[in-house]
Chains A and B, each alone.
Chain A
Amino acid sequence: MKKTLGLAALAAMLACSAAQAQQVNVKIGVLSDMSSLYADIGGPGSVAAAKLAIADFTKDHPNVKVEMISGDHQNKPDVGSNIANQWYDVDKVDMIIDVPNSGVALAVSQVAATKNRLFIVSGAAASDLTGPKCNADTIHWTYDTWMLSNGTATAMVKTGGDTWFFLTADYAFGHALERDAGAVVEKNGGKVLGKVRVPLNTNDFSSFLLQAQSSKAKVIGLANAGGDTINSIKQAAEFGIVKGGQKLAGLLVFASDVNALGLPTAQGLSLTETWYWDMNDANRAWTKRWQAERNAAGKYPTMIHAGVYAGILHYLKARLALGGDPDGKTVAEKMKATPTDDILFGKGEIRVDGRKTHPAYLFEVKKPEESKYPGDFYTLKATIPANEAFRPLPEDNCPLVKG
């Protein structure tokens, strides 16, 4: 069956290249965590978002033929780069998208650069992807550690939280988040009193919370993600940290984490995201379509899913404009040259370092009595304009910027 399809595709390609120049064949690979801790923030939801993007684009441009495959990197950088190698070389995938987990994303980004094929990051957070580790084949779409810390930490310091203690997940992502947030705190006149590096997937944070408590810092910064964030917030509530006058700053909190905590525990938490399903009519309408595609009525898409959708749309626009079968750098240049515009993120641009910019939003988690329907999680506190939300180019240390 596969063989026949392949032959058919090949035949179609040959026929078309002869007869009709505009015919564009594209193959996209969605590489994500399909079965572990990040499967809800990316995973099958990202595949659903990709399907929506492809359906929307090919409806208006029937001469673009898009094929999509998906894979599970299991949060292991070696598995991720193996799949990326195989997809680019054997399966002739033109572009890989998503890849939550910064460790895996950094590995895949290297593969993309060696093969000169495109890689669009939506799921991973490390700002190094468009910093010292940037390359001409990688575009970072949705968010990053600099933007998260800039949004949340600036707001916290401005409202009086000027002394910080970090609980940091002990790997690339946590270190990046701690470094970026610490810099923001100090830039705004605050002070970092201490930090503790916690192994990934720690079950019990009480010991670390006690250390944070005795530091007397006004804010406890949670430089972690997923289950670690949920456990630390849940246990901070239990140990009366917030009641004792210290504030928690969740530096990376997704709607799915808030759902897992429940509003009684999560209320009052400040967080930064670039997309929220309930923010406007366009987002709500898209969420309905996503839920139908994902076949999950009670689930809500995250900003990562939105990033996969928007990233694919912009990529396909560039492919349509270029035609043929260009290499990764050429497509990336075209994508950077074209201003971005889609229903989910609005207008924006992709900078020379590969960083996609758009506004970021500072939210506060609602109290249980303020929440009117399932999924009604946040109140919008502030909007950070696109040109302030992400790290300024000169501070990047990205070789592409210097060159």
Chain B
Amino acid sequence: MFEIFGIPSGALFGQLLIGLINGSFYALLSLGLAVIFGMLNIINFSHGAQYMMGAFAAYLMLKYSGLGYWPALIIAPLVVGLTGVIVERVFLQWLYKLDHLYGLLLTFGLALIIEGVARNQLGSAGLPYVVPDALRGGQNLGFMFLPNYRAWVIFASLAVCISTWFVIERTRLGAYLRAATENPTLVRAFGINVPVMITLTYGFGVALAAFAGVMAAPIYNVSPQMGSELIIVVFAVVVIGGMGSILGAIITGFGLGIIEGLTKVFFPEASNTVIFVIMAIVLLVRPAGLFGRRA
């Protein structure tokens, strides 16, 4: 076993792998944000609250109807995505022509309301949710113990990220969507129902947040503030990747997970600031982000 900067290589590989796992959460959450910003021009500040709603939906389904993790993984995003559709129809659709700030304020306000209601109804300490039976236990990789659930998180997150990127960048539907954000009037002239498409896109972005929430429920504390703790980091990820760039969000998500993981070994006290330091540097050098297009 050799050493790198005084850390045994085995331990370092372990930390890299853990960084990758955390990165997959960042990627999953920032993907939804990037989709919503890229297609709707809305800075969705309620993304964290919607992530929390996903986790709570999973908990409530288990408690009241006995539906476990696997059904929750499908039903919770659908239900939360539906609330997203309602939010878009009732509020957001009036804001597209206004400054970004209005969308940000609205979604921030919504986030505060959702968190407040959750705290009032279910308390602030958190609720129990266990790892599903099929994913209990783990593999001994020699340099570390990899829980099966974490391996599943990497796999699921990669699958969702790649298919979303593929749909938006490589299919006809994605082409319509991108065209509709560039020039809605022209696309409408071709007989495509642009408002419905936009509504569904927002619903999809919200469903992605809820999906990440269900994925998080077995390993993180399910509490009303779980989203607001994570959302700031995820915003930094999106800014570094380039606002609205889907590939950028995915790659930066994984990359920053790894950098954060290494910081936790070499200088743990800075592990929750390192991402913002990187953000500041990136903004100085490339104001549009690593993968962003200049406006």
Contact = CB atoms under 8 A, between A and B. Distances in A.
B225 to A, nearest CB: 6
B174 to A, nearest CB: 32
Contact of A240 (B14, B127, B145): B145
B28 to A, nearest CB: 14
Contacts of A264: 130
Contacts, number: 118
Interface in B74-128: 116, 119, 123-128
B68 to A, nearest CB: 14
A260 B125 contact: yes
Which of A207, A211, A261 counts the most chain B CB atoms within 10 A?
A: A207
Contact of A230 (B8, B221, B261): B221
Given A210-B11, A230-B221, A39 B119 contact: yes
Given A208-B268, A234-B221, A39 B124 contact: yes
A387 interface: no
Contacts of B131: 238
A240 B125 contact: no
B223 A260 contact: yes
Interface stretch (A86-94, A104-112, A194-202): A194-202
A199 B268 CA distance: 8
A47 B226 CA distance: 25
A231 B230 CA distance: 14
Interface stretch (B17-25, B240-248, B287-295): B17-25
Contacts of B178: none
Interface in A238-264: 238-240, 244, 254, 256-257, 259-262, 264
Nearest to B129: A262
A207 B265 CA distance: 8
Contacts of B149: 238
A40 B268 CA distance: 29
A333 interface: no
B11 A260 contact: no
Contacts of A41: 125
A299 B126 CA distance: 12
B281 to A, nearest CB: 20
Contact of A199 (B19, B147, B261, B271): B271
Decide if the interface of chain B is mainly helix, strand, loop or mixed: mixed
A197 B268 CA distance: 6
Interface string A186-226: 00000000001111011110111011011000000000001
* Chain B: interface size category: 35 or more
B138 interface: yes
Contacts of B21: 206
Contacts of A208: 264, 268
A240 B146 CA distance: 9
A164 to B, nearest CB: 17
Nearest to B147: A238
A38 B124 CA distance: 7
Contacts of B30: none
Nearest to B223: A227
B268 A257 contact: no
Interface string A53-91: 000000000000000000000000000000000000000
A36 B225 contact: yes
Nearest to B271: A199
B221 A265 contact: no
Which of A210, A231, A235, A244 counts the most chain B CB atoms within 10 A?
A: A210
A101 B112 CA distance: 22
A197 B263 CA distance: 12
Nearest to A201: B229
Contacts of B219: 234-235, 238
A211 B7 CA distance: 11
B220 interface: yes
Contacts of B44: none
Given A208-B264, A211-B265, 20 more contacts: A39-B123, A196-B268, A199-B272, A199-B273, A204-B220, A206-B22, A207-B18, A210-B144, A227-B223, A231-B220, A234-B220, A238-B149, A238-B150, A238-B218, A239-B145, A240-B145, A240-B147, A256-B123, A260-B128, A260-B223
The list of the 6 closest CB pairs from A to B, nearest first, reads: A262-B128, A260-B126, A256-B125, A40-B125, A207-B264, A39-B124
Interface of A: 35-41, 43, 170, 196-199, 201-204, 206-208, 210-211, 213-214, 226-227, 230-231, 234-235, 238-240, 244, 254, 256-257, 259-262, 264-265, 299
6 contacts: A35-B119, A199-B272, A207-B15, A227-B126, A256-B123, A260-B127
